[in-house]
Amino acid sequence: MAWFSVTVLTAAALAPILNGYTIHAGPPKAIVVPHASQVASLQDVTVRGTLLRKQVIVLDPASGKRTVSLGANGGAYGIEADGDLHFCLGVKELQPHITCEVQHATPWLSAFQGSAGQSITASGFFRCLFEHPGFDPNDDAHIFEIHPVPAVTLAGRSMTFDVGLPDPASIHTWLAPHPLNVQDGKIRVAYDRDTDTLTFTNMDGQDENYVRVPGIADNIHPGTGASSPSTFTLASPDIGHPIQVVALAGTNAARQLGVLTANRITLVALRFIDLPSALKSEYVIRLLAIDVQPGP
């Protein structure tokens, strides 16, 4: 996996692509993603655009139409239950946007609340997961996001953020509240090279975000530069098969990984779909390390 490329894009170019997917209620449920090779090439991204007021996207499975409306309190920003700030990076209000998430954002909330309509550049990890795809009318429909966002430049002001543990109540396990191997084992993906389209089927229509898993870290490859991430393989009894993990450069997880004296760990991580594997018609989940602690 090439975790080293940094892609610089504009919201005008990226937002239509990320909001081009469609859903089908089935059965079975399906998600169809056009421009597949383009989104699969994105890893570490920097996107320039406008900070919009907080918006919500509702996706109609029957017509494929997206309806965009302002969130509560006239689109004012607030902190989510896990402590994160979800902000909308786009071009124009009430048009589909790119969802971005900053962790532990309370100290920065007023800066975002007072800067809607201003230019913003966000840098972070491009992530795909079927947590809020749009099957539920209460979803803010999206399958792609920049999460976590370690840095933004907002109205000319540069800000950096920690990548760390969310609120404990938002961290689940591989086994509860849902057995994730059951869900992951059902999902299938097929890639059509002629149309550059991915078709995912049999998903539950939701997924877990943060997970805590115990296991053995092996094949540890520390990052070789200021921007290159570390990688390792986790063997966890909860998962039952080896899973690949990446730790972003400069984060707590990368530093914790670098000082491990034994390879038995407890990992808190974000799940994401490996899109390069999807281009091979393989559904593969990988993990983005958030916190790496020694021992069980």
The highest-level CATH class for domain 6-160 is mainly beta
Averaged pLDDT, 71-89 = 92
15-55 pLDDT tens trace: 999 999 999 998 999 999 999 999 999 999 999 999 999 99
Mean pLDDT across the chain: 93
CA–centroid distance for 63 within its chain: 26
Strands (E), the chain: 6-10, 22-24, 30-33, 44-52, 55-59, 66-70, 85-90, 98-102, 119-132, 142-146, 151-154, 157-160, 171-173, 188-192, 197-201, 210-221, 230-235, 243-247, 264-273, 285-294
The answer to whether residue 5 scores a pLDDT higher than 60 is no
Neighbours of 135 (CB within 10 A): 20
3-state class of 287 per DSSP? Answer: strand
The number of beta carbons lying within 10 Å of the beta carbon of residue 295 is 8
202-231 pLDDT tens trace: 999 899 999 999 999 999 999 887 778 999
Amino acid at 100: C
C-alpha–C-alpha distance, residues 110 and 105, integer Å: 10
- Where helices occur in the chain by DSSP H, the ranges are 11-18, 36-40, 72-75, 109-113, 180-186, 252-258, 275-278
pLDDT in tens, 136-189: 989 999 999 999 999 999 989 999 988 888 888 899 999 999 999 999 999 999
Q: How many CB atoms lie within 10 A of CB 180?
A: 21
Contact 162, 84 (CB under 8 A): no
Question: How confident is residue 80, by pLDDT bands cut at 50, 70 and 90?
Answer: confident
The whole-number pLDDT of residue 164 equals 87
**What one-character DSSP code corresponds to residue 261?**
S
Does the pLDDT at position 1 exceed 60?
no
Strands 151-154 and 119-132: antiparallel
pLDDT band at 90 (very low <50, low <70, confident <90, very high): very high
Residue 6 pLDDT:
60
Domain ranges of the chain: 6-160
